[in-house]
Amino acid sequence: MNAVIPIHTDIGCADAPVLRERGQREVFCGLTGIIWLHRKIQDAFFLVVGSRTCAHLIQSAAGVMIFAEPRFATAIIDERDLAGLADANTELDRVVTRLLERRPDIKLLFLVGSCPSEVIKLDLSRAAQRLSSQFLPHVRVLNYSGSGIETTFTQGEDACLAALVPELPTAGASAAPDLLVVGTLADVVEDQFQRLFDAMGVGTVRFFPPRQANAMPAIGPNTHMLLAQPFLADTARALEARGVTRLSAPFPLGVEGTTAWLWAAAQALGVPAARFEQVTAAPRERAQAALGRLRPQLAGKSVFFFPDSQLELPLARFLAREMGMRLTEVGTPYLHRQHMAPELAWLPAGTRLSEGQDVDRQLDRCRAEQPDLVVCGLGLANPLEAEGLTTKWAIELVFTPIQGFDQAADLAELFCRPLLRRLRLAA
């Protein structure tokens, strides 16, 4: 085997103790996922069944996006619905019918549940079945919950993809082995990975979610899934229940992570090590050179992660191993030990890990550390900046293309920028 191919012999934090906290939390809800999901599945529509607060959240999270034909909206549950004076199902059917008559381009409609729809116990799965039977074959109607109760914002994508799994066609036992890349990636990143897989001769590679609702990938006992995002526990479970095999790998962040991630697929699909090396050498070296130029800005600096996006462990691993940063605390909303095993093994031994949140206690620990950089949610960033700490918004790391060799330097730059801004302010 060639030396560049990562060999998982590290122990790192594999058996490290984890501080578990269950207190007040500062996170966005799963509705936020609509922002990147609606860009990915181009003929899908996300109808939030919620309150004005929910409508406000997705509109402000989406920024100033004025489309002639937007692909998300909110069906507002008002006081009459909450008081049980109106039949919410009749109202919902009316809204959906009007929407689908006006928008023949919609092929897949998600009814997205929220805290208010859960409070009034509106059964969106029955509503989805009822509306599907009315609008199929032209439009499929599915549902999932984006509710903020006891969740974090990336779980919206997990819930959405898990709702799609039963819709995937079945590939028989005689189908050739194939690869399913699971998790929303920017189109540009997907295209880069597709080119690398093609050059390796991996065979059939499909991405889930697909760009078009009618291009759902078939899955079966010969399908291997490679998670592209670390927050897809329910989706992975649903795919495994349909016979798909999960490949264990770090996530494709940074040069090391991307190499190991690609190698997991190459190994499972019989790509020879020499071919793998030939295909990945040039982009890997380019990325390493680009990271080398940025490393002096980050090396030796300390970083503290508040739990937010569930990307914390792979990001921390990248910053520590490839950029030389010092990890003070790595917090994550949930720690999926199985999916995170390769990441835990690559974290420096002795890293303080925390799962869940008790925000006041965590703020105290952060203040005591006085890290050079804090990665946190929007709600904590401004107060911490006001206290003189330098922050990076975690949500930006989900919205920005950061996976793969060609994006490794962009990823590092996202952490360099706040440090540079602080330097300029201090000058």
Site of interaction with ligand SF4 (CB under 6 A):
29, 31, 50-51, 53-54, 57, 114-115, 146-148
Counted residue by residue, the chain has a size of 427
Tally DSSP H helices, then E strands, for the chain.
17, 14
Minimum gap (Å) between residue 150 Cβ and ligand SF4? 11
Minimum gap (Å) between residue 74 Cβ and ligand SF4? 9
Which residue, 81 or 372, is less far from ligand SF4 as judged by CB?
Answer: 81
The burial of 22, by beta-carbon neighbours within 10 Å (0-12 exposed, 13-18 middle, 19 or more buried), is given as exposed
* Of 120, 130, 183, 188, residue with least CA distance to 339: 183
Which residue, 116 or 404, is less far from ligand SF4 as judged by CB?
Answer: 116
Rg (CA), the chain: 22
* Of 423, 338, 410, 325, residue with least CA distance to 375: 325
Residue nearest to ligand SF4 (CB): 148
User: DSSP string spanning 63-124?
Assistant: -S---SS-SEEEEE--HHHHTT-S-HHHHHHHHHHHHHHH-TT--EEEEEE-HHHHHTT--H
- Give the span between the Cα atoms of 254 and 314, in whole angstroms: 9
Which residue, 55 or 325, is less far from ligand SF4 as judged by CB?
Answer: 55
Minimum gap (Å) between residue 95 Cβ and ligand SF4? 17
Which residue, 55 or 164, is less far from ligand SF4 as judged by CB?
Answer: 55
Beta strands in 333-417 (DSSP E): 353-357, 373-376, 391-393
- Give the span between the Cα atoms of 403 and 228, in whole angstroms: 8
Minimum gap (Å) between residue 35 Cβ and ligand SF4? 13
Minimum gap (Å) between residue 183 Cβ and ligand SF4? 22
Which residue, 31 or 380, is less far from ligand SF4 as judged by CB?
Answer: 31
Minimum gap (Å) between residue 380 Cβ and ligand SF4? 17
Which residue, 48 or 344, is less far from ligand SF4 as judged by CB?
Answer: 48
Which residue, 56 or 293, is less far from ligand SF4 as judged by CB?
Answer: 56
Minimum gap (Å) between residue 59 Cβ and ligand SF4? 11
* Of 151, 200, 178, residue with least CA distance to 307: 151
